[in-house]
Amino acid sequence: MSLPIALVVGIAAGGATLLAAAAVLLALWCAARRRARRNRNSDTGSSDPSTLVEWGKGGRSSLAPEPEHQVARQFSLEDLVQATKNFSDANIVGAGSFGLVYMGLLLDGTVVAIKRRVGAATQVFADEVRWLSEIRHRNIVTLIGYCQEGGLQMLVYEYLPNGSVCGHLYDTRKGSATRLEFKQRLSIAIGAAKGLNHLHSLDPPLIHKDFKTNNVLVDENFIAKVADAGLVRLIRGSDDAGPSHGFSNSVYQDPEVQSMTQFSESSDVYSFGVFLLELITGREAASLIPTDSREYLAHWMEAHFSSNELIDPRLAGNFTAEGMKELVGLAFQCLNPSSRRRPRMRLVATELDRILETEMSMTTFMGDGTAIVTLGSQLFTS
């Protein structure tokens, strides 16, 4: 790396005055280099208003750049026993394909989510965790570290206090207080899209393979983050080779995918389309079509375009007809039965950004409640 010409000339000329000037130039040059390096490492700006919201008092901004390189922290079993009060049932916050999930409090005051399963210690597992822990993005749940002791394998993640989008989207037990407005849903979709797009932009690309609404978490400011990135690789091995034992035929699964080796960026896009459909309907996609049905969700959407079953009735009065039409159209594109006809995640994120920007400008200019429709049949008659 070469120094600026002015600095070289200043040093060569000698003299206290020139040396002082050279020192100032050196300081300015170093500061400029640091700013440029931070700009490369941080996520690009967007019209997503959620990215402008700061974390809680004393916290950091969501726009704060991440360090260039992160090393997975290796915890001892004792560390995690203390953090979870000996894995108390009271600390269980969920369960998934990797096992039970516990909330834990580390000695340094960090609140974490700990996933635990029975498993022998392997170098492959440790290497994979180290690689996954280097993935840092504001819309991806950070993998902090791991533990392999006592016949257990454990993963330690950052903890997101508002949990999964599921609990706010179709958990009616919590009442209307958790109702997600249309612009909130768009903002959440943008965060999830940017998280997936970042995974796809890695070299080599990381295919999620298990993207679903349950794997979209929200922090205290409802900024969305994609969870369990790379978890399928940890469960099955880094090469994902071998028979498809335990291969699940989930409603989120691309109908073109018949084995683990066939997953692609496009199959993640299909899963994202199911996620958008749930944001639109406010219902679990599995409840929309019979479990034994071979009907495509895209066909279900097409059949319900003009009915009142498509749009979540809780959204009545807080979306524009144009914004909803465009979101429905985008979900329809993502759910195309043909993988070749689906958009890339980069384009999906860009389109969602545009939809939200337009929605905000229209409702700000005209006021919420203007040009609003409440019936699905009114959406698709023009």
115 annotated ligand-binding residue: yes
Q: Active site residue: 79, 89, 108, 210, which one?
A: 210
Helix (H, G, I), strand (E, B) or coil at 160: coil
Residue 240: active-site member:
no
Alpha helix segments (H runs only) across the chain: 5-13, 16-41, 77-83, 123-133, 166-169, 182-201, 231-236, 265-281, 297-303, 321-334, 345-366, 376-379
Residue 226, beta-bridge partner list: 140, 216
The gap from C-alpha 240 to its chain's centroid, in whole angstroms, comes to: 22
Q: How far apart are CA 236 and CA 249, in angstroms?
A: 17
Q: How far apart are CA 333 and CA 271, in angstroms?
A: 12
CA-wise closest residue to 97 among 250, 223, 290, 218: 250
Phi-psi category of 58—alpha, beta or left, where left has phi over 0 and alpha has psi -120 to 50? left
CA dihedral 179, 185, 187, 189 (to 10 degrees): 140
Sign of the alpha-carbon dihedral angle for 352, 355, 358, 360: negative
Q: How far apart are CA 3 and CA 10, in angstroms?
A: 11
Question: Residue 216: what are its φ and ψ, rounded to 5°?
Answer: -110, 110
Residues comprising the binding site? 115
Q: Which residues are catalytic?
A: 210
Residues comprising the binding site for ATP? 115
